[in-house]
Amino acid sequence: MVRTFVLIVGVGSVGLFVAGCGGTSSPSATAPMNTTAAEKKNAVDEAHGHKPGAHGGILVSLGLDSYHAEAVFEKGGVVRLYMLGKDEARVQEIESQELTAYLTSYGMTESDKMTFRSEPQPGDSKGKTSLFTAKLPKDLIGKKVQVTVNNINVNGERFRIAFSNEHKDDHVAAEMPVKKEGDEEQKLFLTAGGLYTAADVAANGNTVPTVKYKGIRAQHDDNPKSGDKICPISKTKANPKFTWVIGGKTYQFCCIPCIEEFVVLAKEKPDEVKDPSSYVKK
């Protein structure tokens, strides 16, 4: 299961929104009952890590404070992602890996790909890294952008991280980017495999999600109510606008990237796919 942590950051900004796949990260500190609303908000902000990191970015907790990350936008379009431990002052090594990110500019419905590459810092062990770097496309440097890394492996656990260089209100849900069309997407959605059949391909209109749902923006609600349908991947509230037929059954998702991940699951690990009725908030 991929856990989603949405981080709204920018050099000098203090905005942070954390959405967990399977639950929002809860603050570890609580404010006294007789405190004012502002004081309570400050206590929650402090518990959620609303403070600048050592590199001028903003810290976010991963896995209910098991790990932290600090995202930093630098001049010239360089974006750095520092990995930290439970103790925010401790560097956290993770497996060296390439991280595929989807980059979207506000107001756009399609995204560009961007790759974060391992850049081990002094003291990192062989095959490990505590820093990833990427470079924004030239035409997006200086613009308001959102970056989403769909799959980062931290000691066997998989996370999704999204962050922006624009300050936003803490309670505004971040929008997920939409992937561009490409050969990989065509192959994934237009060929059968595992639980995903030729009949499913036809039922979905012999097309791909980026075409079928072009122009539709995803809004993530990480607080579904009991009885609400939830996305099989993110566990946020499902959006009836984003549906896909797998195994002859219609599933609802929160966004296009989650449709893709679920189809991959249906092809590679069909035994792990549950009936649509199972993806409901208890």
pLDDT in tens, 237-278: 899 999 999 999 999 998 888 899 899 999 999 999 999 999
Q: Indicate if 223 and 252 belong to the same structural domain.
A: yes
pLDDT for 244: 97
pLDDT, tens only, 150-197: 788 888 888 777 777 764 433 333 334 344 446 888 999 999 999 999
Q: Indicate if 204 and 238 belong to the same structural domain.
A: yes
Residue 209 has pLDDT above 50, yes or no: yes
Domain count, the chain: 2
Q: Indicate if 117 and 201 belong to the same structural domain.
A: no
- 154 in a structural domain: yes
Q: Indicate if 41 and 136 belong to the same structural domain.
A: yes
Q: Indicate if 98 and 36 belong to the same structural domain.
A: yes
Beta strand segments in the chain, E? 3-8, 58-62, 67-73, 78-84, 94-95, 99-105, 112-118, 128-129, 131-135, 145-154, 157-164, 239-246, 249-253
- 178 in a structural domain: no
Q: What is the CA radius of gyration of the chain?
A: 19
Q: Indicate if 49 and 136 belong to the same structural domain.
A: yes
- 177 in a structural domain: no
Residue 195 has what DSSP assignment? T
Q: Indicate if 64 and 187 belong to the same structural domain.
A: no
**pTM exceeds cut of 0.85:** no
